[in-house]
């Protein structure tokens, strides 16, 4: 299931995002979602925050 959020960008960043999306032939919102998802997954893999799955894995290790 997907969740909708609102994001406010500086005008210059929004314009660049629109140009990038146009260049790739995809909707701006779709490209923004891809960029955000990629950044969040990378941050999680680098341990920049603990996700629920990371919390569960740590609890399992403690229980062993």
**pLDDT tens digits, 2-59:** 999 999 999 999 999 999 999 999 999 999 999 999 999 999 999 999 887 655 555 5
Q: Name residues whose C-beta falls within 8 Å of residue 31's C-beta, 6 or more positions apart in sequence.
A: 17, 20, 21, 24
Residues 15-27 pLDDT 10s:
999 999 999 999 9
Residues near 5 by Cβ (< 8 Å), separated by ≥ 6?
A: none
Instruction: Check residue 50 and give its pLDDT.
Output: 86
pLDDT value at position 52?
76
| Cα 23 to Cα 1: distance, rounded to the nearest angstrom | 28
Going from N- to C-terminal start, the domains of the chain cover 11-63
In whole angstroms, what separates CA 39 from the centre of its chain? 5
């Amino acid at each position: 299931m997907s969740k909708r959020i609102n994001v406010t960008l500086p005008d210059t960043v929004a314009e660049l995002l629109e140009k990038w999306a146009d260049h790739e032939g995809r909707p701006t919102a779709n490209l923004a979602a891809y960029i955000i998802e990629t950044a969040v997954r990378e941050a999680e893999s680098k341990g920049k925050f603990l996700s629920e799955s990371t919390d569960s894995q740590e609890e399992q290790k403690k229980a062993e």
